[in-house]
Amino acid sequence: MNLAELTTFRVGGPADTVTEAPTRGALAEFCAAHPLQAGGPRPDVLFVAGGSNLLIGDAGFSGPVCLIRSTGVQMHEVTPDERLLTVEAGENWDAFVADTLARGLTGLEALSGIPGTVGATPVQNVGAYGAEVAESIESVLVFDRMSGDELRLDRTDLEFGYRTSRLKRTAANTGAVQFVVLAVTFRLGVSRLSAPVRYTQLARALEVDLGEQVDTREVREAVLALRASKGMVLDDADHDTWSAGSFFTNPILPADAALPAEAPVYPVTDPVTGARDPRLVKTSAAWLIDRAGFGRGFGLGERSTLSQKHTLALTNRGDARAADILELARHIRAGVREAYGITLEPEPNLIGCSLDA
């Protein structure tokens, strides 16, 4: 199998051994059969679900590949105003969000339209338009490939941060996935009203003030429209969506960092307490890229360019290789570093390739 078929970038070389896990049990069995061993190759196993956060090298992957295809949602009433929903890792994320709104639940509406599966969301602490999954996740059931045990990690155990978590940091530190998500449990409110709108662009689209609540379905429609305008809703016919979404994360910097006066600056909050961290600020990667001279559609050739709609997305224009995307990413990162002294960090997982190579 060619791994390009499994990712939204549509690049990547061949895989030798591919196993499909259609259930939670099958996924756990695969993990048990492929324990994480000291001294082994890194990464030793590749787990693929929606493929929306992967850039796989042109040489492909020589180890075992597991396709996470488990589905299912179980809902339990906690109180008259709250529900717990346990969702299998392979469940389509946006379909699940739509389902929560159909059930009259609130909390995930601002995260509509994000590609991928439920199991990937806690790893990355997926977020958009002022919301993050960390705010709604009750716990995550994982398989620890080091110990061979199934563990339930609560919100504190997961150590969420901006686009990161204990799951992601552990994988980065070991060079391989240790904790494989089997299922995620969310705590959601019962209401047709959205969470307070916290993102200026979304508030403008809804024609409301920040902090107001509106019908959850209106928020979903507005978010889908905003994402589509940026090429962030998958469309086979639109090469601006042949990407991994935002390629670089927004930099988090010391509060006294030397930024241009006009650079956007946002607060950074502690993921556990929710309090603002006065030592840190966050700025916009898209703003840095654009001001460093890389506008929409910029490319070093025709095979890979920045999106025509959004400077934060690197895209495959139809026949790109991973090498083309990496070359463009390195060029942009070097330009931003030269202009502002800030090194951008990639958001997708790079498999069999690196920006530092």
> Distance between CA 97 and CA 113 in Å, rounded?
9
What are the angstrom distances between the C-alpha of 233 and each of 49, 103, 114, 251? Answer: 17, 23, 7, 24
Say whether 165 is catalytic.
Answer: no
**Sole residue written with tokens 């979404």:** 245
Six-digit token string for 176: 């391989």
| 142/175 Cα distance (integer angstroms) | 18
Among residues 112, 165, 194, 246, which one is catalytic?
246
Q: Give the span between the Cα atoms of 273 and 161, in whole angstroms.
A: 11
> Which H or E element spans position 80?
none
Catalytic member of 24, 155, 163, 166: 163
* Residue of 303, 290, 302, 301 lying closest to 332 (CA atoms): 290
163 is catalytic: yes
User: Helix and strand tally (H, E) in the chain?
Assistant: 9, 18
Q: At what angle do helices 216-229 and 93-102 cross, to 10 degrees?
A: 150
Integer-rounded Cα Rg, in Å, for the chain is: 20
Which H, E and C letters describe 164-215, residue by residue?
Answer: ECHHHHHHHHHCCCCEEEEEEEEEEEECCECCCCCCHHHHHHHCCCCCCCCE
Q: Give the position of tokens 């995307």.
A: 325
3-class DSSP state of 222 = helix
Beta carbons of 47 and 30 less than 8 angstroms apart: no
Cis peptide before 346 (omega within 30 of 0): no
Q: Count the neighbouring beta carbons within 10 Å of the beta carbon of residue 277.
A: 14
Lookup result for tokens 């969506």? 241
Q: Which of 230, 234, 231, 223 is nearest to 110 (CA)?
A: 223
- Which residues are known to be catalytic? 163, 246, 347
